[in-house]
């Protein structure tokens, strides 16, 4: 029997199975919707069976589809392993790497990481996507990215993870703010001011809420904004916020902002590099995690570097 099943059909099937929507599957695969429909219908026609039930609410996998999905996942893992073997066999680091990072990391570190990585590994196409934690988790789950940088508030059991750095969270205020001259402030003093924080789904917000609650302090921010750029702009209007201390001294100085240590409570976060444990991590991805870890650990890059400007 001539086998006509190919890797593309398997990829399209997996995308549709996991997304449950032709529209979302097409977006994930970066193709037009008819291409997805055509490949699935072709697959069904070649084997004389139905894999999905078409409904007004989308496509629903049937019993055959559930079993076929498990086989397809194993096939794609083997295909990926074969790809990495052939790439690694010539001793060169090649391929594509996509990494999702939070805005706070993008502001302070990403330029150094990209410049060093592209210099050391010119044959690798590096793609950086900036987003908040909920987006990064979604990209990891869908396979949109190979590596996602998250905080320790995330359930690490879902993915494999490696510690990158542990850092302190500081109050960030305008240099002309009444508390800007303070060498340290308490959590209660911070909570009594006009506060901007990310919304509750954000992992940094969850970490902050947990830390302050343990100290008996309920944070009631005046504004909840999931845009770091907007938050930094609004600080000049009398608001204050909490941000990780790592490697942001130059940025804060340029923006006329001051970082102040917060005590009672002291809040610290761990940055972790997460990836799918079921997939073989390529040499290119391994190198990306290594360089990110090394650049985050450079001397003077911890939070104490920005306590006073």
Tens-place pLDDT, residues 62-92: 999 999 999 998 888 888 778 767 766 666 7
Evaluate whether residue 307 is within a structural domain.
Answer: no
Query: What is the pTM (predicted TM-score) of this model?
Result: 0.65
- Give the residue numbers spanning the domain of 45: 7-89
- Which pLDDT belongs to residue 51? 92
Q: Checking DSSP bridges between strand 257-263 and strand 160-174, what pairing results, if any?
A: antiparallel
Task: Say if residue 245 is in the same domain as residue 185.
Answer: yes
Q: Quick one: 283 and 159 in the same domain?
A: yes
Q: What is the pLDDT of residue 80?
A: 77
**Confidence band, pLDDT 50/70/90 cuts, at residue 302:** very low
**Cα–Cα distance for residue pair 52/183, rounded to 1 Å:** 63
Q: Indicate if the pLDDT at residue 186 is higher than 90.
A: yes
Query: Which tens digits make up the pLDDT trace of 169-185?
Result: 999 999 889 998 899 99
Our count of domains for the chain comes to 3
Say whether both 11 and 83 belong to one domain: yes
Query: Residue 56 is encoded by which pair of tokens?
Result: 């007004």
- 178 with 246, same domain: the answer is yes
Q: Find, among 43, 79, 80, 34, the residue nearest to 61 by Cα.
A: 43
308 part of a folded domain: no
């Amino acid at each position: 029997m001539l086998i006509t099943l190919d890797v593309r059909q398997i990829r399209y099937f997996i995308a549709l199975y996991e997304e449950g929507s032709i529209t979302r599957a097409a977006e994930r695969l970066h193709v037009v919707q008819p291409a997805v429909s055509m490949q699935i219908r072709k697959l069904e026609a070649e084997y004389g069976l139905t894999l999905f039930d078409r409904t007004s609410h989308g496509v629903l996998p049937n019993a055959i589809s559930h079993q076929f999905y498990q086989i397809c996942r194993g096939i794609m893992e083997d295909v990926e392993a074969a790809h990495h073997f052939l790439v690694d066999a010539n001793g060169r680091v090649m391929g594509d790497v996509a990494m999702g990072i939070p805005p706070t990391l993008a502001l302070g570190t990403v330029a150094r990481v990209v410049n060093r990585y592209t210099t050391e590994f010119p044959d690798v196409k590096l793609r950086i996507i900036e987003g908040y934690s909920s987006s990064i988790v979604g990209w990891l789950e869908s396979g949109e990215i190979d590596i996602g940088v998250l905080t320790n508030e995330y359930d690490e059991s879902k993915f494999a993870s490696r510690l990158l750095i542990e850092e302190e969270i500081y109050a960030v205020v305008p240099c002309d703010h009444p508390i800007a001259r303070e060498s340290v402030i308490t959590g209660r003093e911070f909570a009594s001011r006009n506060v901007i924080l990310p919304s509750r789904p954000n992992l940094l917000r969850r970490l902050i809420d947990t830390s302050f609650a343990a100290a008996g302090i309920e944070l009631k921010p005046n504004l909840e904004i999931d845009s770091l750029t907007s938050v930094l702009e609004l600080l000049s209007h009398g608001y204050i916020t909490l941000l990780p201390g790592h490697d942001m001294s130059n940025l804060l100085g340029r923006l006329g902002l001051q970082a102040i240590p917060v005590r009672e409570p002291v809040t610290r976060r761990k940055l972790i590099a997460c990836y799918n444990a079921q997939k073989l991590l390529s040499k290119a991805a391994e190198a990306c995690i290594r360089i990110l870890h090394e650049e985050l650990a450079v001397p003077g890059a911890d939070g104490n570097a920005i306590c006073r400007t």
